[in-house]
Chain A
């Protein structure tokens, strides 16, 4: 069967890869958007946190017999706690300064964290087996869907929409939205804003670590896996609009799919299509598709 002269199996599999990549873009850009919203910091160490999540899972499995499902909870908690410590000890000092200082600090942290892991584990990458419960294929007719990949999409979307719900519909989310607009007044109303900021940063990087664990069986667990991905994710955030929650999710998934389609139609352009869209969006809507100027 063909669609527009393209074999449907090829289109289907590339769309699926696009959807999986898009799930990672969505979950990572969501964390970046939340952190930027409240902290005004462009978190350049986000990719390193994603990598740390994958490595916590790999180290857990290899040395401590900690299984996939435990890691899926444990890695975000541990990396989130690391985020809390970094925020309390370092980022906190920078809030009164220009955005650029936060960017520099988090970029430096990323280099240090990635450097340590390169030194310890090299760059050849480690494999992580798909958990037993998620091995196998689901026949879809036009192609066979690896069960794990279907799980990645469902898990990522669940976490993304769960986060969206928390921010848009709960009291804690109201604090967060209000704090993004005017932290001083929120604090004057009796809300512990410094703690809210610490929690937000910890939560944002925990999301990155969660994505890292999801990624471990799909991609190689590699000290540079984060820095390869994060450049695209920054483009996603710029396209979606800094600080927009739903914008990050929709843009992440959409761009993953566009990348997938590009791989079928014109493979040579697939690695630059996101950046081409970024340029277009910046020309037409500098605040991003969902951003408020």
Chain B
């Protein structure tokens, strides 16, 4: 508990370096996310945003530094145990399995903690998934697959959600729906790290923005400072 702000720190990353083989991708990332916060990682392609999420999950070749999750060091913990610490990862490629039905995809991840959404709550939030529960996962539309990739981590009881480019390639009406879902998840107290290309989607949702370039965080912008930093941000992101 941070006595000054009354907030509880949930994720703290200190001096994180990540490598794929010989390539040194992240050069000392420092960031923290309080419980119930939503932060975004912004930056151009190849700036290291997705790698940061993958590093938290242990999906990179090698990593060093410190990743504290709810008071536990997870830098040397194997990937499946990180998920069991209550981290839900929604990868950029969505990774819906074609040999599994929609329902099998949805229920694949084991329950890691109590308090996850029930099937009824999931189907209320994502009604399409109920209709199509017997279809092969990859026969769903892009938007439905994205909903499925999110729904499957919401029923596990994970409290930290790592969402990688969830709006990519989706129609505006679906993007709007995803925005409503993120807002609802924030209300429910989830802690969210959002990697986004679509700044207009991310801006109203986030409490804080981390701007990455070449594997480093070059700027941290709080929601209140956003209007004054807008021009700089647009230049940096090239939007």
Contact = CB atoms under 8 A, between A and B. Distances in A.
A172 to B, nearest CB: 11
Given A190-B80, A190-B109, A191-B80, A174 B104 contact: yes
A174 B103 CA distance: 11
Interface in B109-137: 109-110, 112
Interface stretch (B44-52, B91-99, B175-183, B193-201): B91-99
B163 interface: no
A1 B95 CA distance: 59
B99 to A, nearest CB: 4
Given A186-B108, A188-B57, A190-B110, 10 more contacts: A178-B100, A184-B79, A188-B83, A189-B109, A190-B80, A190-B84, A190-B156, A191-B80, A191-B108, A194-B78
A186 B79 CA distance: 10
A171 B110 CA distance: 10
A190 B83 contact: yes
Given A188-B91, A191-B110, A177 B100 contact: yes
Given A174-B104, A188-B59, A190-B112, A181 B84 contact: no
Interface in A184-239: 184-194
A165 B156 CA distance: 26
Given A174-B108, A184-B59, A193 B95 contact: no
A109 B232 CA distance: 62
Which are the 7 A-B pairs with shortest beta-carbon distances? A190-B83, A189-B109, A185-B95, A177-B99, A187-B79, A178-B97, A188-B89
B83 to A, nearest CB: 3
Contacts of B107: 171
Contact of A181 (B78, B98, B156): B98
Contact of A178 (B84, B99, B112, B153): B99
Nearest to B112: A190
A124 B221 CA distance: 80
B113 to A, nearest CB: 11
B63 interface: no
Given A189-B83, A191-B109, A174 B100 contact: yes
A182 B110 contact: no
Tell me whether chain B's interface is mostly helix, strand or loop, or mixed: loop
Interface in B51-93: 57, 59, 78-80, 82-84, 89, 91
Contacts of A194: 78
Interface residues on chain B, size class: 20 to 34
Nearest to A37: B99
B209 interface: no
A180 B98 CA distance: 11
Contact of A175 (B91, B108, B152, B153): B108
Nearest to A182: B95
A115 B95 CA distance: 45
A218 B97 CA distance: 42
A189 B99 contact: no
B110 to A, nearest CB: 5
B104 A193 contact: no
Interface in A48-104: none
Instruction: Pick from A171, A189, A193, A194 the residue with the most CB of B within 10 Å.
Output: A189
Interface string A223-258: 000000000000000000000000000000000000
Contacts of A192: 80
B72 to A, nearest CB: 16
A283 to B, nearest CB: 27
Contacts of A190: 80, 83-84, 109-110, 112, 156
Contacts of B153: 189
B100 A187 contact: no
A93 to B, nearest CB: 16
A181 B83 CA distance: 19
A120 B107 CA distance: 51
Contact of A189 (B78, B98, B104, B108): B108
19 contacts: A174-B100, A175-B108, A177-B97, A178-B97, A178-B100, A184-B79, A185-B91, A187-B79, A187-B80, A188-B79, A188-B83, A189-B80, A189-B89, A189-B110, A189-B153, A189-B156, A190-B80, A190-B83, A190-B109
Interface string A149-192: 00000000000000000000001001101101110111111111
A15 B100 CA distance: 37
A188 B164 CA distance: 13
Interface in B198-232: none
Contacts of B89: 185, 188-189
